[in-house]
Structure 1
Amino acid sequence: MILSARPRPEAPLPNQESVWDFPRPARIEAVDAHLKVMFAGRVVAETRRGYRAIETSHPPSYYFAPQDVDRTLLRRAARTTLCEWKGGAAYFDLMVGDRVAADAAWSYPRPTPDFAPVADYLAFYPGRVDACFVDGEVAVPQEGGFYGGWITSKFAGPFKGAAGTMGW
Structure 2
Amino acid sequence: MKAIWKNTVIAESDETKTVENNYYFPMESLKKDFFKESNKQTRCPWKGLASYLTIEVEGEKNEDAAWYYPQASHAAKPIENYVAFWNGVEIKE
Shift of 1:90: 0.3
Shift of 1:41: 2.9
Instruction: Give 1:51's aligned residue.
Output: 17
- Where in structure 2 are the equivalents of 1:122-161 lying within 5 Å? 122-125=83-86, 127-129=87-89, 131-133=90-92, 135=93
TM-score, length of structure 2 as denominator length: 0.91
Instruction: Give 2:38's aligned residue.
Output: 77
Instruction: Give 1:112's aligned residue.
Output: 73
| AA at the equivalent of 1:128 | G
Q: Secondary structure at the match of 1:115?
A: helix
Q: Does 1:67 align with 2:33?
A: no
What CA distance in whole angstroms lies between the structure 2 residues aligned with 1:69 and 1:96? Answer: 13
What CA distance in whole angstroms lies between the structure 2 residues aligned with 1:118 and 1:71? Answer: 19
What CA distance in whole angstroms lies between the structure 1 residues aligned with 2:30 and 2:10? Answer: 6
Stretches (4+) displaced over 4 A: none
What CA distance in whole angstroms lies between the structure 1 residues aligned with 2:65 and 2:83? Answer: 10
Return the structure number with greater strand share.
2
Shift of 1:38: 1.1
Q: Percent identity?
A: 28
In structure 1, runs of 5+ residues without a counterpart are 1-34, 55-59, 136-168
Counterpart among 43, 48, 62 of residue 87 in structure 1:
48
In angstroms, what is the RMSD of aligned CA positions?
1.2
Deviates further, 86-95 or 71-80: 71-80
In structure 2, runs of 5+ residues without a counterpart are none
Q: Secondary structure at the match of 2:88?
A: coil
| AA at the equivalent of 1:132 | I
Q: Secondary structure at the match of 1:52?
A: strand
Larger radius of gyration: 1
| AA at the equivalent of 1:114 | A
Shift of 1:106: 0.1
